[in-house]
Amino acid sequence: MIIAERKPMAEISRAVAPYKKVLVAGCGTCVAVCWAGGEKEVGILAAQLRLARSAEENEIVTLEATVERQCEKEMVMELRDKVSEVEAVLSLACGAGVQTMADVFEDKPVFPAVNTTFIGMPESEGVWVEMCGACGDCYLDRTGGICPVVRCAKGLLNGPCGGTRKGGKCEIDAGKDCAWVLIYRRLEKQGRLDLMRQYNAPKNFRAVKRPGRVQAVRA
């Protein structure tokens, strides 16, 4: 799941300072799950904008709307009537959603209200952990389903390093488990420790070409 977090209110306020009528647009998928940009967050941000501008004696009119996914043009088109009524759009979607909105509504400035941070999974209520760097060259078949690229603080492909602490903790952050200790224990449970003796070649940074494009082939 794509994880994002709200930008500071001061940064958002500066972005829309020249505008009197703004659409605050939410996304009902990833950013809604991580409490950054769903319908509830749209309402909160719109109210905060109105309060802030009222205190400055510079009133603002906010429209609110949330679509299921801002990264799909067909769904974004549902907002066309509201976009036509405003001067600018504040998007609470991930970076892909913001860019889709900007492509569909080229005549209106679209500003991001959240920072897209990583691909992660829920660890506990309100806490998400990065699990994948979308590197295009997956190692999970060799590491027991634990990604060394993002879960090792050094991104080591052949570990552990010499700084692993007692109890299997990371030398960079003693509060975190060493990814390679976790990999060792997982492979041990699976009877696949021989993989620890295999050398992983340096990362292929050409695996993901920018900008990326994937065309699905139906079976």
The tokens of 113 are what? 């209200």
Ranking 23-27, 94-98, 140-144, 163-167 by mean pLDDT, the lowest is: 163-167
The DSSP string of 28-92 is SSHHHHTTSSSHHHHHHHHHHHHHHHHHTT---EEEEEEES-TTSHHHHGGGHHHHHH-SEEEE-
Predicted confidence (pLDDT) per residue in 54-109, tens digit: 999 999 999 999 999 999 999 999 999 999 999 999 999 999 999 999 999 999 99
The reported pTM is 0.83
CATH class as words, domain 2-118: alpha beta
User: How much of the chain exceeds pLDDT 70, in percent?
Assistant: 96
pLDDT of residue 32: 94
Rg, Å, the chain Cα set: 22
* Percent of the chain as helix, strand, coil, to the nearest 5: 35, 20, 45
Predicted confidence (pLDDT) per residue in 17-47, tens digit: 999 999 999 999 999 999 999 999 999 999 9
What residue spans in the chain does CATH classification 3.40.50.2300 cover? 2-118
As a whole number of angstroms, the distance between CA 1 and CA 119 comes to 5
